[in-house]
Chains A and B, each alone.
Chain A
Amino acid sequence: MTLTRRALIAAAGTACAVLALPAAAQDWPKAQPIQIIGGFPTGAGTDIVARLLAEPVSKALGQTIIIENKSGAGGNVGSEFVSRAKPDGYTFYMGTAGTHAINAALYPKLNFDVVKDFEHVALIADVPNILIVNPKILPDVNSCADLIAKAKKEPGKLLYASTGNGASGHLAGAQFAAAAGIDIVHVPYRGTPPALNAMMSGESQFMFQQSISIMGQVKAGQFKALAVTTAAPMPALPGVQTVAQACGLPGWESTTWYGIFAPKGTPQPIVQRMNEELNKALRDPAFDKRMQDLGLVSLPSTIAKFKEVHAADLVKWKDRVQKSGAKVD
């Protein structure tokens, strides 16, 4: 292990630079890099989107943005970390409908409050689930109506995969079964790769899967998209109807979102500025194209709108979790 004198001096210099004064709201962001925490492993959807956003926002703010993932317990480890972080405008959180609405209903006790311990910064995107079947395994199922008919003919026979107990795909499946009045069996897998594998090998017959991980396979025809779970069709998948239309279940929807939060007490001017920069990035056509390719629907919106969506979702998901019987304790 050798070291040049120049390297030592450089290290000492950097150490001094980092010791500089703490930041005040007006000269934010100056003193130190901003971190965006993710609650899921590196490479997960939240991580990819956070990294995509980091590029333009860091340019606009003139400050480095570091993405740091603290994964575990369905995102709760990351949420708890951010809820306790210093509200100085240098820590943000890439939250989801999962971490901030589903988990509140799913886990009997959380060490933080998903509303009171956070500042809403900006809604980022809708993450639709897509109802998919493998055409090689179920060649006779060409529409959602076919699927429901098949499930009614063979009650308790059709298996649907999910990426885990309490995952949005699991809850969408339970909600779907209840609305359509069918008896289907839930098979949980540990994350996306094994679940997709089971879809390919025919171990499970259908699933509600987050668009971000299957856009490619759907476009290539490997999986057939029967419907999307959002209230409106997805621009990136023209010709695929919503569950409400395709399955004849009016009013049915099940949408999850990504949104940026900050620890409670982060100064409002900083939250405002961050909201503006994030929205600017989301409105950029090139950026939006990237999001669409990933299967996401950008949602530039105000802080108030974000709060509204979150409050409504807390009620909705609580009901869905209760009805599905899913629990984690």
Chain B
Amino acid sequence: MELIDNLALGFGVAISPNNLLFCLIGALVGTLIGVLPGIGPLATIAMLLPLTYHLEPVTALIMLAGIYYGAQYGSSTTAILVNLPGETSSVVTTLDGYQMARNGRAGAALAIAALGSFFAGSVSTLVIAVASPPLARLGLQFQAPEYFSLMMVGLIGAIVLAHGSVVKAIAVTLLGLFLGLVGTDLNSGNERFTLGFPELADGVGFVIIAMGLFGVADILVNLERRHAPALTAVIGRLWPTRQEFRQASPAVLRGTVLGSLVGVLPGGSAALAAFASYALEKKIARDPSRFGKGAVEGVAGPESANNAASQASFIPTLTLGIPANALMALMMGAMQIFGVTPSPRIITEQPAFFWGIVCSMWIGNLMLLIINLPMIGLWVQLLRLPYRLLHPIILLMCCIGVYSLNSSSFDVLLMLVFGVLGYLLLKFGCEPAPLLLGFVLGPLMEENLRRALLVSRGDPWVFVNRPISAVLLAVSAVLLLAVLFPALRRKREEALRE
């Protein structure tokens, strides 16, 4: 059994006291920066990089990886407790997690997020161990047409996210696509809608828009209600009920599978996995109207999916030397500084390094579970703080988080602008969540659409001639019909009633 030998080798490396210690440090630091909105793992890893020069490469990488997945755990905590998504992937968690907290189920939501993440992390670690090379090859099947069609599925998913008017959801998604256009056009170099600000030349940062739409807008709406929101009213029991477990388990399973698949694609992000999982859960739920009001599946599925995806994104990095995202690019830079070259030969040339990291991921996930479960009681206490003390802290965290991205006051002001936009949208009965997905996917879609046409020399059939792309487009067509038809039927019923 080669796999067992490999895992034995890996665990041998991972459980050396030194490696365990740095794994723990990484997990702790990651949790901390994850809980603090805006301060992302990217900046933290970059800052800690020089401190790791004197460590063994494998130890350093174990710590840096710990920060990465620790941050994923941490960011769901603020998403659930105070509606602040610190990472792209926890935007979805705010939808039902925050509502659970308002219903007095904060403890349950945190516990389910932690358990779901642990399960997904364990499974995707195993996936990495068993299937890295074939999965990495699958990822290479994806070219511009496939990415465009994949984004299309994601975009239709955005419309499923909203509860309420489908037309408004589509319109808000379009607004997100529109905001995504701000910046320098990739193909021509023309600046679009930058209003002459050089700070906008690379577009609006995701964290800026998320903090504005969720953090600041939420404060504005809450303060306007005459009575302070009933955040403090009920805390309820900490542990999930048996029924909540029953609802969450299958969602965790589906989220894990979905997340592992999306994570392998270079450029497929944890956020896309989370969005897809949410759309799936809502679609197959017996009563979709519970979503957005505190449905357990709406936390369990996406949380598992984003954790599975973020770990699976190590696959292309470790095996092909192709970073899946900016963070993986930084990790690759780190490996190179340590003299480890990420390439297909890494598994055979440096087995102790490869398997040591894979096994430490599982240990790190276990540590995170052990750190996080007892913390839940503590976190929930935060909600006992009266809102008049809580909202200044939230505003401050948003400001510091956004400023820390690029040391730019302009970004803080921009966040306020988006705060006002989010406030107006909420006032006018529009939900901001689909906007965010449109914003993330919009530029990628345009880029891949134009690239696909450039590479195919203007042949539009490229999207249906390539099998993977065709299947994805078919999926999005079916999804769209599934969304539209109930809406149309409802409209007709209303019309008949009148």
Interface residues of A (CB under 8 A from B): 1, 41-43, 47-48, 51-52, 54-55, 67-74, 76-77, 80, 106, 111, 159, 164-166, 185, 187-194, 196-198, 200-204, 213, 215-217, 219-220, 222, 290, 293-294, 326-329
Contacts and interface: CB of A to CB of B under 8 A. Distances in A.
B199 A72 contact: yes
Given A51-B49, A188-B186, A111 B198 contact: yes
B190 interface: yes
Given A201-B141, A220-B343, 20 more contacts: A41-B326, A42-B46, A43-B46, A72-B201, A77-B201, A80-B198, A111-B198, A165-B189, A188-B186, A191-B326, A204-B455, A215-B341, A216-B335, A216-B341, A220-B341, A290-B337, A294-B337, A328-B189, A329-B189, A329-B190
Nearest to B143: A203
B329 A192 contact: yes
A328 B184 CA distance: 8
A43 B326 contact: yes
8 contacts: A1-B393, A42-B46, A43-B46, A43-B330, A202-B143, A203-B143, A203-B455, A217-B341
Closest 10 CB pairs of A and B: A220-B343, A43-B330, A216-B341, A73-B201, A328-B189, A42-B46, A165-B189, A203-B143, A201-B140, A193-B323
Contacts of B454: 185, 187
Nearest to B147: A194
Nearest to B345: A220
Interface in B416-438: none
B135 to A, nearest CB: 14
Contact of B266 (A52, A197, A328): A197
Interface residues of B, number: 54
B56 interface: no
Nearest to B327: A43
Contact of A326 (B189, B202, B341): B189
A43 B407 contact: no
A206 to B, nearest CB: 14
Given A47-B46, A217-B321, A73 B330 contact: no
Nearest to B42: A42
B17 interface: no
A169 B345 CA distance: 27
B6 interface: no
B342 interface: yes
Contacts of A70: 406-408
Given A41-B326, A290-B337, A216 B186 contact: no
Contacts of B322: 193, 196-197, 200
A293 B406 contact: no
Given A51-B49, A55-B50, A72 B342 contact: no
A200 B140 contact: yes
A54 B342 CA distance: 25
Contact of B42 (A43, A68, A196, A326): A43
Interface in B121-156: 140-144
A197 B406 CA distance: 27
B337 A193 contact: no
B191 interface: yes
A197 B46 CA distance: 23
A3 to B, nearest CB: 14
Contacts of B337: 48, 52, 290, 293-294
A60 to B, nearest CB: 15
B276 to A, nearest CB: 20
A76 B140 contact: no
Interface string B304-346: 0000000000000000111111111110110111010111110
A219 B339 CA distance: 12
A48 B201 contact: no
Given A76-B201, A194-B267, A197-B267, A165 B187 contact: yes
